[in-house]
Amino acid sequence: MKKSLVLAGFLAILLMTTLNVSSGHAYSPKVYPTEAKVRLSNQSSITITPNTVYQLVNQQTGQLFYSVPNQSISVRGSNSETQLHMGGTILRSTNGWQVKELLGEANETIVLFSRATEARRGASTNYAINRTYQAFQGAKLIGSHNAAGVLWYNIEDEVGVRHWVNASTSSLHTLASLPIMTHSNGLKYRGSFIATTANSVVTFTNSLDIEDYLKGVVPSEMVSSWHMEALKAQAVSARSFAILKGVLANNTTSQVYKGYSSETTRTSQAVDETKGLIVKSGSKIVETFFFSTSGGRTANIQDVWNTVSQPYYVSVDDTIEQNAKSPYSNWSVPYSAAKIVQNAGFNPSKELLLDIQAVPTGANGEIGKIFVTTTAGSYSLGERSRANELTIRQFFKLDNGWNLYSNWFTLTPKKVSATYQVQTATGVSTLNGLSTTTVKTAASDVKLSGLQTSVQTATEKQLIPTQSYISEVQLTGKGFGHRIGMSQYGAKARADAGWKYDAIIKHYFPGTTITKY
């Protein structure tokens, strides 16, 4: 009996003093076979809220910390320092932070420390201290032991060494099967993240597998209820576009990306069923541009972006697009002369628009040059060479903040005439403008100047223009976007008509093939 007690005591001591070294690290960060990086925000501060434990890597020191599930983290920039504010603790790094999605084994539990915690060789304060953890650091839970009413956790650190810690400064957490981070922009995102600071502005970037990235792109770029073949065409186009880029924007500068918040069953199915497929021309991956509406025909790249032609960026017929009933197939918007004068860099309260010309330079009639004449001087876009379509569209920015729908339009001015019938000593004369006219007053002869003059009529005084001018223009056009590559409404119309996704893509990008990357 005594021998059994001695053996049991020895085994207990052995258990409490275990310093095993594991064959692998606890909680490995997830590695993405094909990684997409998307810039989510550039702000002085943001707030992120994880639904599970993420690893926080100080890129200055290499120290590892962990997030507490559902506890918000304020990410702030101070000069070149990136700060993480968590539960009253401030973690600092001049090189920024990685916020990594973790992989854990089934039923694996992580111990997080709420304050400085001593890790010992055994489950008692009598044992030597092996290391001290800081608040928000953590380790893998191996087991627990109750020693004289005090609960101790046996843990394994990031290099596989095991220690004992007092449970009173710790909390236990398991990893969620789907790690999701909520950004202060209101959207939720898969994957991992990088936070860096320059001039007190935090750049927050989402890093994730390209297939998961696409699940947040396709429903943000195309209506999820559209035909599956159209959704597949969008998925393949978005994948080819993304794979060529470095860091993507989350808006139309690259592709609209709204993360996990936008995911739908149908669009995720389209991504899964085209997994890894991209568009190539020979051995070259094609940057598969897409846009909303062509207006019946896509554009040659050299006609809208003033660049060299490419065999797969050519104008193709898209009359079938009208079956999809895009609101932008044909459009007409009025545009005030005052806005044109202002956009040309002149004062609209003092100057008049005398003339404006929109010169078609593209094969379909795309506008490549704009010439404006005002009472203060002239202004031109694309005078020496064809202007970029975006420059043209930005010049005619709409009241809602959008650029003009496309650069495929005609312009019709509405003119105000300054032609007058004037009684002279010899009869009635017709004057085309009054700006150079001399009139006799009670005091002297006066040469008219300015944009308006006051004239006494039989009943009252009226202000009349001294020269003819344009008061408004009507812009009448087709399409929405740059019109290079795939029309999204055209893809819908073709899918509705029975086209498969690969045929849709090959129509808009002639001579290309679809293959695995």
pLDDT, tens only, 490-515: 999 999 999 999 999 999 999 999 99
Report the distance separating Cα 384 and Cα 397, nearest Å: 23
DSSP 349-414: TT--EEEEEEEE-STT--EEEEEEEETTEEEEESSSSPPPHHHHHHHT--TTSPPPS-S-EEEEEE
Report the distance separating Cα 394 and Cα 404, nearest Å: 7
**For 199, what's the count of Cα atoms within 13 Å in the CB-facing half-sphere?**
2
Residue 278: is its pLDDT beyond 90?
yes
Per-domain residue ranges for the chain?
105-174, 285-327+481-516, 331-411
Helical packing angle, 228-243 and 501-508, nearest 10°: 50
Q: Which has more pLDDT, 272 or 430?
A: 272
What is 105-174's CATH number? 2.30.30.40
Q: Are 361 and 336 spatial neighbours (Cβ–Cβ below 8 Å)?
A: no
Rg over alpha carbons for the chain, rounded to the nearest Å, is: 34
pLDDT of residue 288: 98
pLDDT tens-digit series, residues 180-222? 999 999 999 999 999 999 999 999 999 999 999 999 999 999 9
Residues facing residue 103 across a β-bridge: 28
Q: How confident is the model at residue 142 (pLDDT cuts 50, 70, 90)?
A: very high
Residue 237: is its pLDDT beyond 90?
yes
Residue with tokens 């007190």: 200
Q: Which has more pLDDT, 306 or 242?
A: 242
pLDDT tens-digit series, residues 422-436? 666 677 666 565 555
pLDDT of residue 183: 98
Eight-state DSSP code of residue 68: P
Token duo for residue 509: 């990008």
pLDDT tens-digit series, residues 77-122? 999 999 999 999 999 999 999 999 998 776 789 999 999 999 999 9
Average pLDDT rounded to a whole number, residues 371-385:
92
